[in-house]
Structure 1
């Protein structure tokens, strides 16, 4: 398998990605998928700078499944990252097969989201996307850096459900 890390991270490429994850998982480049990312020219420039000497491809949601297939067939190692679990759910619905593991990093507070952990806030669309991905046999783990203990979707879901019940 040449996609060595599949990750939801609202910052996409940043210090934790470059200094921590790239040390424990082999990487030659990044496959970044997300309509909101590809439409933001400033963000694309920042991501290209953050990638340093690693290759980077930034693709639309529609291009995602094709680029995932190409990445899986490549001899190079890639991190597949998006800023939203909805993008991964859409890719799976459109036939993408990136493996059976999804790592979730920072998903920070935003309007309508419920804070369920340190740097982790979910809204109903995130919840539905994670539920769909889990129903497709994808193991979802929440972990900012490799040295931290993973939390399962089951644990995060229970916290979200209890927090929503209080609202």
Structure 2
């Protein structure tokens, strides 16, 4: 498979993506999936600029199955990134094969979220999405940077469940 990193990151493409993750995982281009991102012209321009010389494709969830399949079949290596676990949940429900691991980076505090750790705050919709992804046999790894320790969905799910 030529998808070298599948990641949820609320900032999508930023300094840590470009300086740390591209050094840890081979990459020739970035596939970004998300309806709100794809329909926001300013955000599209900012993300493409942040990727420096890497090619970036930004797609809606409806466009994603074909684009991801093309990326998997390619000899080039891609990061597949979305700003939301709901996007990946939709993709697994659509039968899209993007690999067996989902890396989760920053999901910062938003209204109605529970803070589960450094840079991880999720709401019920995120929880349901992660559980659906997990139920499809995909390992979910919470990891801000490549050299950070990995926290599992089971660990963070239990923490979420224990909170009021």
Structure 2: runs of 5 or more not aligned: none
Q: Within 5 Å, which residues of 2 pair with 1:77-96?
A: 77-96=77-96
- Quote the Cα distance in structure 2 between the aligned partners of 1:138 and 1:74: 22
- Quote the Cα distance in structure 1 between the aligned partners of 2:144 and 2:2: 22
- Quote the Cα distance in structure 1 between the aligned partners of 2:95 and 2:137: 14
Shift of 1:33: 0.1
SS of the aligned residue for 2:58 comes to strand
Q: Within 5 Å, which residues of 2 pair with 1:57-68?
A: 57-68=57-68
Q: What is the aligned length?
A: 164
Give 2:100's aligned residue.
100
Give 2:22's aligned residue.
22
- Quote the Cα distance in structure 1 between the aligned partners of 2:69 and 2:146: 26
Deviation digits for residues 19-46 of structure 1, max 9, x if unmatched?
A: 1110010000000000010111111111
- Quote the Cα distance in structure 1 between the aligned partners of 2:86 and 2:160: 17
The structure 1 segments of at least 4 consecutive aligned residues displaced by more than 3 Å after TM superposition are: none
Give 2:154's aligned residue.
154
- Quote the Cα distance in structure 1 between the aligned partners of 2:108 and 2:66: 29
- Quote the Cα distance in structure 1 between the aligned partners of 2:94 and 2:137: 16
**1:128 corresponds to 2:128:** yes
Give 1:12's aligned residue.
12
Structure 1: runs of 5 or more not aligned: none
Aligned-residue CA RMSD (Å): 0.6
TM-score w.r.t. length of structure 2: 0.98
- Quote the Cα distance in structure 1 between the aligned partners of 2:134 and 2:120: 18
